[in-house]
Protein backbone atom coordinates (compact mmCIF):
# COMPACT_ATOMS: atom_id res chain seq x y z
CA UNK A 1 0.00 0.00 0.00
CA UNK A 2 1.33 3.42 -1.00
CA UNK A 3 1.73 6.05 1.63
CA UNK A 4 -0.41 9.09 1.05
CA UNK A 5 1.59 12.19 0.34
CA UNK A 6 0.98 14.89 2.89
CA UNK A 7 -1.64 17.33 1.78
CA UNK A 8 -0.03 20.45 0.42
CA UNK A 9 -1.17 23.46 2.40
CA UNK A 10 -1.47 26.56 0.22
CA UNK A 11 0.68 29.44 1.33
CA UNK A 12 -1.04 32.61 2.36
CA UNK A 13 -0.69 35.47 -0.05
CA UNK A 14 2.04 37.81 1.09
CA UNK A 15 0.70 40.78 3.01
CA UNK A 16 1.54 44.10 1.42
CA UNK A 17 3.59 46.11 3.89
CA UNK A 18 2.73 48.69 4.72
CA UNK A 19 -0.94 49.05 3.94
CA UNK A 20 -1.40 52.50 2.36
CA UNK A 21 -4.94 53.80 2.48
CA UNK A 22 -6.69 57.17 2.12
CA UNK A 23 -6.50 59.18 5.33
CA UNK A 24 -9.68 59.40 7.40
CA UNK A 25 -10.61 61.67 10.31
CA UNK A 26 -9.88 58.85 12.77
CA UNK A 27 -6.20 58.93 11.69
CA UNK A 28 -5.68 62.60 12.61
CA UNK A 29 -4.41 62.10 16.20
CA UNK A 30 -1.71 59.65 15.05
CA UNK A 31 -0.81 61.81 12.04
CA UNK A 32 -0.34 64.80 14.37
CA UNK A 33 1.90 62.69 16.64
CA UNK A 34 4.07 61.75 13.65
CA UNK A 35 4.17 65.39 12.49
CA UNK A 36 5.43 66.52 15.91
CA UNK A 37 8.00 63.72 16.01
CA UNK A 38 9.38 64.48 12.55
CA UNK A 39 9.38 68.23 12.04
CA UNK A 40 10.94 71.11 14.00
CA UNK A 41 7.98 73.35 13.10
CA UNK A 42 5.08 70.89 12.92
CA UNK A 43 1.66 71.62 11.51
CA UNK A 44 -0.91 71.94 14.29
CA UNK A 45 -3.89 69.63 14.68
CA UNK A 46 -6.08 72.54 13.59
CA UNK A 47 -4.07 72.93 10.38
CA UNK A 48 -4.44 69.21 9.64
CA UNK A 49 -8.18 69.33 10.38
CA UNK A 50 -8.62 72.31 8.07
CA UNK A 51 -6.53 70.57 5.42
CA UNK A 52 -8.51 67.36 5.77
CA UNK A 53 -12.02 68.78 6.10
CA UNK A 54 -11.95 72.04 4.10
CA UNK A 55 -9.23 71.90 1.46
CA UNK A 56 -10.86 70.41 -1.62
CA UNK A 57 -7.43 70.21 -3.28
CA UNK A 58 -5.93 68.01 -0.55
CA UNK A 59 -5.25 64.29 -0.99
CA UNK A 60 -3.77 62.37 1.95
CA UNK A 61 -2.72 58.79 2.54
CA UNK A 62 -1.60 56.95 5.66
CA UNK A 63 0.66 53.93 5.95
CA UNK A 64 -0.55 51.47 8.57
CA UNK A 65 0.90 48.49 10.32
CA UNK A 66 -2.04 46.76 11.93
CA UNK A 67 -4.15 49.55 13.38
CA UNK A 68 -1.24 51.91 13.91
CA UNK A 69 -0.43 54.79 11.57
CA UNK A 70 3.31 54.68 10.89
CA UNK A 71 3.52 57.33 8.18
CA UNK A 72 1.53 59.72 6.07
CA UNK A 73 1.80 61.72 2.87
CA UNK A 74 -0.20 64.51 1.32
CA UNK A 75 -0.46 66.58 -1.81
CA UNK A 76 -2.64 69.24 -3.38
CA UNK A 77 -4.20 68.68 -6.80
CA UNK A 78 -3.92 72.15 -8.34
CA UNK A 79 -5.37 72.41 -11.86
CA UNK A 80 -3.43 69.57 -13.55
CA UNK A 81 -0.43 69.26 -11.21
CA UNK A 82 0.25 67.76 -7.82
CA UNK A 83 2.18 69.59 -5.12
CA UNK A 84 3.45 67.23 -2.42
CA UNK A 85 3.00 69.00 0.89
CA UNK A 86 4.44 66.52 3.36
CA UNK A 87 5.67 62.99 3.85
CA UNK A 88 6.65 61.66 7.26
CA UNK A 89 7.42 58.26 8.76
CA UNK A 90 7.73 57.34 12.44
CA UNK A 91 11.33 56.99 13.58
CA UNK A 92 11.19 53.25 14.25
CA UNK A 93 9.74 52.50 10.80
CA UNK A 94 12.18 54.36 8.59
CA UNK A 95 14.31 52.56 6.00
CA UNK A 96 11.73 49.76 5.77
CA UNK A 97 9.89 50.82 2.60
CA UNK A 98 7.22 52.97 4.24
CA UNK A 99 8.32 56.22 2.57
CA UNK A 100 8.64 54.38 -0.71
CA UNK A 101 5.08 53.05 -0.42
CA UNK A 102 3.75 56.52 0.40
CA UNK A 103 5.49 58.18 -2.56
CA UNK A 104 4.22 55.38 -4.82
CA UNK A 105 0.66 56.01 -3.57
CA UNK A 106 0.96 59.72 -4.44
CA UNK A 107 2.40 58.98 -7.89
CA UNK A 108 -0.29 56.36 -8.57
CA UNK A 109 -3.00 58.84 -7.54
CA UNK A 110 -1.48 61.52 -9.80
CA UNK A 111 -1.57 59.08 -12.71
CA UNK A 112 -5.15 58.09 -11.88
CA UNK A 113 -6.20 61.76 -11.85
CA UNK A 114 -4.27 62.43 -15.07
CA UNK A 115 -1.98 65.05 -13.56
CA UNK A 116 0.89 66.17 -15.78
CA UNK A 117 3.40 66.03 -12.94
CA UNK A 118 4.24 66.27 -9.27
CA UNK A 119 6.46 68.78 -7.51
CA UNK A 120 7.87 69.19 -4.01
CA UNK A 121 10.43 71.08 -1.97
CA UNK A 122 12.98 69.22 0.13
CA UNK A 123 15.69 70.49 2.47
CA UNK A 124 19.03 70.73 0.73
CA UNK A 125 20.52 68.72 3.63
CA UNK A 126 17.94 65.90 3.41
CA UNK A 127 19.86 63.64 1.07
CA UNK A 128 17.95 60.53 2.12
CA UNK A 129 14.64 62.06 1.01
CA UNK A 130 16.21 63.34 -2.20
CA UNK A 131 17.36 59.80 -3.03
CA UNK A 132 13.87 58.46 -2.29
CA UNK A 133 12.28 60.96 -4.66
CA UNK A 134 14.93 60.34 -7.33
CA UNK A 135 14.11 56.60 -7.22
CA UNK A 136 10.57 57.58 -8.21
CA UNK A 137 11.73 59.71 -11.13
CA UNK A 138 11.84 63.14 -9.50
CA UNK A 139 14.53 65.45 -10.84
CA UNK A 140 16.04 68.66 -9.46
CA UNK A 141 14.50 71.66 -11.23
CA UNK A 142 15.54 74.56 -9.01
CA UNK A 143 16.16 75.98 -5.55
CA UNK A 144 14.36 78.22 -3.05
CA UNK A 145 16.72 80.35 -0.97
CA UNK A 146 16.05 80.52 2.79
CA UNK A 147 12.89 78.46 2.34
CA UNK A 148 12.71 76.87 5.80
CA UNK A 149 11.74 79.29 8.57
CA UNK A 150 13.44 77.34 11.38
CA UNK A 151 16.96 77.32 9.89
CA UNK A 152 16.70 79.49 6.75
CA UNK A 153 17.95 76.46 4.89
CA UNK A 154 17.53 76.37 1.13
CA UNK A 155 15.09 73.96 -0.50
CA UNK A 156 15.59 71.92 -3.63
CA UNK A 157 12.60 71.96 -5.99
CA UNK A 158 12.02 68.56 -7.57
CA UNK A 159 9.60 67.56 -10.33
CA UNK A 160 8.35 64.31 -11.74
CA UNK A 161 6.61 64.65 -15.08
CA UNK A 162 3.99 62.05 -15.87
> Is the preceding omega at residue 93 within 30 degrees of 0, hence cis?
no
| Catalytic hit among 36, 133, 141, 161 | 133
Using DSSP's 3-state secondary structure scheme, residue 101 falls into: helix
CA distance 124 to 18: 28
Which residue among 35, 51, 109, 121 is the active-site one? 121
DSSP string for 120-161: EEEETT-HHHHHHHHHTT-EEEEEETT--TTT---EEEEEEE
Q: 86 by DSSP, 3-state: which?
A: strand
Is 121 an active-site residue? yes
Q: How far is CA 154 from CA 26, 135, 140, in A?
A: 35, 22, 13
Nearest to 107 by CA among 144, 70, 132: 132
Q: Does 133 participate in catalysis according to the annotation?
A: yes
Residues catalogued as catalytic: 121, 133
Amino acid sequence: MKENAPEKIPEAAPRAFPAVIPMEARHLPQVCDIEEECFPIPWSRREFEREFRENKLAIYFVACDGGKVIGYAGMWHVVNEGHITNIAVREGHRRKGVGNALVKALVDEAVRREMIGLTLEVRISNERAQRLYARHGFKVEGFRKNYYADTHEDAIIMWKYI
